[in-house]
Structure 1
């Protein structure tokens, strides 16, 4: 019997889902799943899902691209951060902070994550027209116990039957993908060991992990042992975007239009020029 596994990358900025089909005596078949996301312009389909949740005035909940686009027009859409608009909440997993203005089932980062996970699970099952036998959710290697606990709570809310061992460290997932894509011989020869340094540079965080990998020649199995991980760093591609905007783009715009740095307010610089808005 085939075993179908759904893997979910619950990211700070973006999330994605992939499935693997395991058939005896056959190489695993992997594919990334494209997800339909509601927007004002109609359905937007992409394997990349913005980790943004918006509660619309009619009580509908949008997750993904549509919610991300509404963030740029939050005042017009009557949306307020941490009341009915939520983003980058992964950074607040594992702490006691609550969103006191939000409805009770949206008032904590783990609950927001639960809504995102449920949306991804249901969308993947609809796309594949099947249920999955197993689920894996990735987390930063640097996530502490309380952050992992909140991730498990989010999984429970989303209806994912997941245990501690089903949380896969993101750098390890990246290494598995690299081996799956490029072949084991690119990393280690059968019968040998190798030590890998993995940089998982995401939209909101940077995770660094040192992993020892051993390839058993007799069984063709590989064993991965995590030697060390970095601290939890809130540094990601969004910070690079912001640096480009504020250190290069805005100064160029000011110079081209003969403006001084004081002619634009901080809000104008942030909301009008920031690629995340």
Structure 2
């Protein structure tokens, strides 16, 4: 297992059984790696009967973001007898507290697992990994009132971070304008001087870095969308478990569709910015060829 900033001990995991239904595995720093020992890993699997895909997600929290993007799974669910299990990872942007330069946003993730066994009182379990402290208290409040709609806790948590996307994505537009706008008004046919060539070369490199970042963001938005679709199917196939139809209650399926719609808007925006960036890169390359 990878090493990190905080350790998930056997006692931590034993405490999960003593919790009513919800517990958290947290990290000292959200940008750090989750340290989980092999005995703890086995205890998660054996004593709590947690299935392998969730353990994969737990393990992935022990890697740097760049280490795991190519092979990480983001969701899984299964139905067995009278119980339903699901697990997933959601990506979201969050302010990192930087004030003196640098990117004020960081990409983070949280992971959730739930096993619903409505026919066996007290056996349902839910585990969250790396949920920010300021969100946990509100999540507990939601859990108190979700007896008949257990899916609501997941929708609440996803929605709590969904509104960060707009501010996060707007920084890319600002960066693109800063890197390419000045070259839109460069005189046609004028050969750049030596100092300008150095600036152009640096801008070319920055545009390429920006493009890679945008493509990674797009990949994570697609991953989130697959989680939303998995939850929608769960609600349709097992509405008697995840969401009982009670008069005056919230409409989780509608809320999931709204999350998917906003996520699609973010995807379209990223695709648009990638096209603009490619056009700017062509323009800058043409100037260097003079």
Interval containing the TM-score (normalised by the shorter chain):
under 0.3
Q: Which has the higher strand share?
A: 1
Structure of larger gyration radius? 2
| Structure possessing the higher relative contact order (Cα contacts under 8 Å, 6 or more residues apart) | 2
Q: Which has the higher helix share?
A: 2
TM-score by length of 1: 0.26
TM-score by length of 2: 0.25
